[in-house]
Amino acid sequence: MRILVVDDEKELTDPLTRLLTREGYSVDAAYDGTRGNQLAQSSNYDLLILDWMLPGKTGLQICQELRRQGMTTPVLFLTAKDTLDDRVAGLDAGADDYLIKPFELRELLARVRALLRRSGLQLPDTNGEKLTVADIELDAENQIAYRHGRVIELSEKESQLLRYFMENSGQLLTHNLIMQNLWHNEEQPSSNVIAALVRLLRRKIEAPEEATLIHSVYGKGYRFGISGD
């Protein structure tokens, strides 16, 4: 099945494209409305995922133009516009579904599956390993995490550390345990390297308005999870 993603936010579009590919779909991406419209009209896609506000041509304009031409390809809008009038405008333009940013990636995948099933298509089988703790999800194979609709790209070591934290949520993990787990077949670094890696991971997975996930235990190590869980 072929999906076209059109969104000018590369920090969302690129990881989303990889995620959908990991789920078994064939995915093309465009970062402006002009190119997105060209692809939508020249290729046979099973689903279009369009951002509402795009340079060149808006997602709304793309959808309207395709519907005027008689194309019935399902369209899922991604947008920060959340008023009733906006939702009505999107549906009246011919959209099949509407997802407000920020959104959970699991919900987007569920809506993709629903739209494709509605079209009578057989969905691909996936066996990807994903970990979920509290409000964060990790796709370890692709080194991507998801939290509150954010797509978080991780380095190899950051992904390994987050996985170790999530697999041992709520437990006290000492510097020595972390070192043995992440560098078990390599020359082990100093504890300062671990502290620096934790700081980098925190910056990525803990936005200012989000609950703390990595808790320092003074003189001992770290504990992962939302307090009270």
pLDDT in tens, 175-213: 889 988 888 777 777 768 999 999 999 999 999 888 999
Task: Kindly report, residue by residue over 68-114, the tens digit of the pLDDT.
Answer: 999 889 999 998 877 777 777 777 788 888 888 877 777 888 888 88
Does residue 125 register a pLDDT over 70?
no
Which top CATH class is 2-118? alpha beta
State residue 119's pLDDT score: 75
Burial code (b: 16+ CB inside 10 Å, e: under 16) for 21-31 equals ebbebebebbb
Q: Which residues belong to CATH 3.40.50.2300 in the chain? A: 2-118
136 or 141, which is more confident? 136
Determine the angle formed by the axes of helices 105-118 and 10-22, rounding to 10 degrees. 60
Q: What is the pLDDT of residue 122?
A: 61
pLDDT value for 203? 94
Q: What is the pTM of this model?
A: 0.60
pLDDT confidence bin for 124, thresholds 50/70/90: low
Domain with CATH 1.10.10.10 in the chain: 130-224
pLDDT of residue 105: 78
- Domain 130-224 bears CATH identifier 3.90.700.10: no
E strands within the chain?
2-6, 26-30, 47-51, 75-79, 97-100, 130-133, 136-139, 144-147, 150-153, 172-174, 214-217, 221-224
* pLDDT score of 142: 76
